[in-house]
Chains A and B, each alone.
Chain A
Amino acid sequence: MKRRYTVLALVAGVHATAGLIVLAQSQNASQAAAGANKGGTATPQGTGAGPFVTQFQSKSLEPDIQHGAVIAAQGTAAGAPACAQCHAYNGVSDASGAFPRIAGQSRSYLAEQLRDFASGARNNAFMTPIAKALSAQDMADVAAYYASTNAPTLPLKPPQAALVKAGETLATVGNAQRQIQSCNNCHGPGGAGQRPAIPYLEGQYANYTTFTLREWQRGYRKNSPDQMAVQAKKLNDQEIAAVSAYYQQVASPVKVAEAQPKE
């Protein structure tokens, strides 16, 4: 007796069984599918899915990168200054680290930050008034522009090797005693980011990373209360300095090892 199975291992393995891993004889599966079509009820806009779908799909504006570039270079008529003044036209900002590197950052992440600056979910004396002067379309455009830039990482003087090492441990492994998980869990290997929601950290200026971790600690950033605020509050000053240093140099053309030869 030979039976042929089609394995519909859709929700994969799914331990504890959410999983529809179901086996069905392929014939029967096909028949059911055919039956469903015959019934005529399985149309794309079937019972109520039409208006309902619109209600749940988030509005996404079609971005105009050219217009975003103009905003970056010149600002807007409504009074937003040129982004390039601080972030540079290619998004590398400057080596002071007073402003984050935004070149090639996720479009969706950048747009969300602009919305959050405007709403106050992210409170910043510089960025909040600027974001308020941007329309929703402006935000989408300028976010798309900076997401599209591909700028080099500046050759900065490498931080202390010991600091980088401590930062690397936190970034890749975490700290079991203090229940700190690795930053890379969410921010990706080497802080490469996980698009679209999670920003990259690689090559970010240490001063900026330190500054923004403090913003999380002190409640100036409220746009990830259950994740980043919780994580940042676990870190002490040493640890903040360490992870900041680590991520700055991880994408740098100048390596720690080169500057400070091994003993």
Chain B
Amino acid sequence: MATRLKPVDAVTIGVGLTGSMAGLELTGAGLTVVGLERGAPRDTVPDFQSPSIHDELRFSIRKAMMQDNVKVAVTFRNTSDQTALPIRRWESFLPGQGLGGSFVHWNGQSFRAQAADFIYRTHHLERYGQKFLDACGPDLTIQDWGVTYDELEPHYDRFEYLIGVSGTAGNIKGKILPGGNPFEAPRSRDYPNPAQKEPYFGAIFRKGAESLGYHPYPQPSSNLSRPYTNPLGLKMEACVFCGFCERYACEHYAKGSPQTTILPILLKNPKYELRTGCEVLRINLDSTGKKATGVTYVDAAGREFEQPAELVLICAFPLNNVRTLLLSKIGKPYDPKTGEGVVGRNYSYQTTGGTIIFMDESININPFMASGACGTMIDDFSGDNFDHKDLGFIGGAYVGTIMTNGRPIEFHPTPPGTPRWGLEWKKAVARHYNHTIVITQLGTSQSCRANYLDLDPTYKDAWGRPLLRMTFDFPENDIRMAQYISDKGEAIARAMGGKTIVRVATKRPYTTTVYQSTHNAGGAVMGNDPKTSVVNRYLQCWDVPNVFSLGGAAFPQNITYNYSLTIGALTYWALEAIKNKYLKSPGPLA
């Protein structure tokens, strides 16, 4: 039976980015906080040191930093009429596990969302009308977030300074600045650090994009361009372009992560206790079902504990936030047949694509000299930056060269027609390895009625609980979008002088066997209407007010960009509300 532990003020389920932020803010407000992390403790020294951290087989191929899916997998199917099967090998998306969560192995791509993203439905209705939206797809369930960009701006700013984002501002308080992204929403001040140096492939892209009248800018990056001390007094260092960023941890203190920017302070706080190797089984509710009393978890030795807490924050990977809610019976599960219920509703992803350019041999790209988030890109086709009136879809994508590595197992570009193995393949790899540029497009994902998350009726985890089941395929709207943007990427590729150009864009059906994005979003979305959202605008559960669900699960649909910065801003926003409103008067926040 579970051992009942001494009650604490708050518990976080997961100690990744949002869990670390919550720990720091709430202990700062005087609360006692326990962080429950199912993975291992780890730190820059000694765990992330070279050469072992550059083990491509271990980290990139065997996914050593990812959720242990022998214990807990996710099942997947494209449509409701299929039978879902467990994903036994992470490929399409990579949920992290261990102290620091996915924010350890992320790339550091650090974008703010646009103002229109937060009023998504309202914006599109005003600009294009209901008839247009119906034509894009009558099944789309896009909605407003309940929070505005202006409300989040101070939190974006604070988060950028916490992790030391390196970038070139394009819009400070409405003034458009040269060199930055002219489409970005106004920021209150400049980035804490200047943009990273432009790589050669970025310079070639810049030239090509400018020749077509687009507006190239350096990708904002949390791989730092120079040594930096964050507002907590933690020192970070400059990125050395080692080429081992995504799927790896940084050995140089150069990537914004909980380990570099939060944990050294938090772990010293006597009001905070980190417990690793602890799998939370469920959130416990009292007899009314309206109040959480704490959580039950199993430690690494298999012992079961009940940790009573006044406040429970779900700080897991978005998919796991949704699963925790479902397993704890918090909120009404979504039913795609009736469209009713909210938990699991509006699961969205990211729509990707791009162009591969095989260049002349005189052009040396040196792809191995790479940072996780260094590159040059355009926002001319992001979100609603361009007129969709005659296009028959909503949404958009950024386009840019943001190559992150030239690692030997993963990077060997060959043009179409090359054999898949043997001497000819080897010759082609040798010919093209150093002369290939990749243009990436990453874009919006609209939520729609058929895509959702629920509990699998068949498959269970190591503790006997149902796995999360994902039902997902790309809506037609997003396929049209991806193809349209791909045309633009191809035109830029030609302007860049590619010898051979291969164009690729998302197609149906979605498959989980190829990496696309780890921006799994939604499923426990935020909003102002309890009928269409799980949490309110402060990420507080409508049904159980002392439970908050932080992170990407709150996105009602996915934005153009990599979502980490928006998660950071939303988390600060929610934590401010907890500190300034909730703690003074616990209960539903208006």
Q: Which residues of A are interface residues toward B (Cβ below 8 A)?
A: 5-26, 29-30, 32-33, 36-37, 39, 41-50, 52-53, 56-57, 172-176, 179-182, 184-186, 188-189, 226-227, 230
Cα-based distance from A19 to B363 in the complex (angstroms):
22
Q: Closest CB-CB distance, B379 to chain A, in whole Å?
A: 15
Q: Quick one: which of B102, B356, B375, B436 has the most chain A CB within 10 A?
A: B356
- With A48-B211, A226-B238 known, 6 other A-B pairs at CB within 8 A are A18-B402, A22-B505, A30-B417, A47-B494, A48-B207, A49-B207
Q: Is the CB of A11 within 8 A of B411?
A: yes
B300 within 8 A of A: no
Q: How far is the CA of A26 from the CA of B418 in the complex (A)?
A: 12
- Contact across chains for B51 and A184 when beta carbons are under 8 A apart: yes
Contact A176 B44 (CB under 8 A): yes
Given contacts A17-B517, A185-B50, A230-B227, contact A25 B356 (CB under 8 A): no
| B46 contact set on A, CB distance < 8 A | 173-174, 176
A230 neighbours in B (Cβ, 8 Å): 227, 237-238
Least distance between A5 CB and chain B CB atoms (Å): 7
Count class of interface residues, chain B: 35 or more
- Would A12 and B410 count as touching, CB distance under 8 A? yes
Is the pair A8, B356 in contact by a Cβ cutoff of 8 Å?
yes
What are 12 A-B residue pairs whose CB atoms fall within 8 Å in the complex? A8-B504, A10-B356, A12-B407, A14-B404, A19-B515, A19-B517, A36-B502, A47-B495, A49-B204, A49-B208, A49-B363, A185-B252
- On B, residues with C-beta under 8 Å from A are 43-46, 49-51, 60, 94, 102, 105-109, 200, 203-204, 207-208, 211, 226-227, 235, 237-238, 240, 242, 246-247, 251-253, 350, 352-354, 356, 359-360, 362-364, 372-373, 375, 402-405, 407, 410-411, 413, 415-417, 436, 438-442, 490, 493-507, 511, 514-519, 562, 564
List chain B residues, Cβ under 8 A from A184: 49-51
In the bound complex, do residue B415 and residue A33 qualify as a contact, i.e. CB atoms below 8 Å apart? Answer: yes
CA distance A116 to B144 in the complex (A): 57
Across the A-B interface, the 5 shortest Cβ-Cβ residue pairs: A49-B497, A12-B410, A46-B497, A44-B360, A15-B246
Determine the distance from Cα of A14 to Cα of B407 in the docked complex, in whole angstroms. Answer: 11
Which chain B residues lie closer than 8 Å to A41 at the CB level? 494
Contact A181-B252, Cβ < 8 Å, known A13-B94, A13-B515, A49-B363? yes
Q: When chains A and B are docked, how far (Å) is the Cα of A29 from the Cα of B246?
A: 26
Partner of A174, one of B49, B494, B502: B49
User: Is B501 in contact with A32, judged by CB distance below 8 angstroms?
Assistant: yes
Structural contact, B238 and A227, CB atoms closer than 8 A: yes
Cα of A189 to Cα of B55 in the assembled complex, Å: 13
The CB with the most chain A CB atoms within 10 A, among B211, B362, B439, is that of: B362
A26 to B497, CA, bound (A): 23
A15-B440 contact in complex given A29-B504, A176-B45, C-beta closer than 8 Å? no
Report how far A246 CA is from B203 CA in the complex, Å. 42
Query: Knowing A32-B503, A47-B211, A56-B203 touch, does A227 contact B515 (C-beta < 8 A)?
Result: no
For A226, the chain B residues whose CB sits under 8 A away are: 226-227, 237-238
- Contact pick for B516, options A12, A17, A47, CB 8 Å: A17
**B515, A53: Cβ atoms closer than 8 Å:** no
> Contact: B410 with A13, CB < 8 Å?
yes
User: Are the CB atoms of B498 and A36 closer together than 8 Å?
Assistant: yes
**Is the pair A24, B507 in contact by a Cβ cutoff of 8 Å?**
yes
A174 contacts B45, CB within 8 Å?
yes
B49:A182 contact, CB within 8 angstroms: yes
CB distance from B57 to the nearest CB of A (A): 13
CB distance from B296 to the nearest CB of A (A): 31
User: A85 CA to B102 CA in the complex, in Å?
Assistant: 55
Given known A11-B440, A226-B238, contact A37–B500 (CB-CB < 8 A): yes
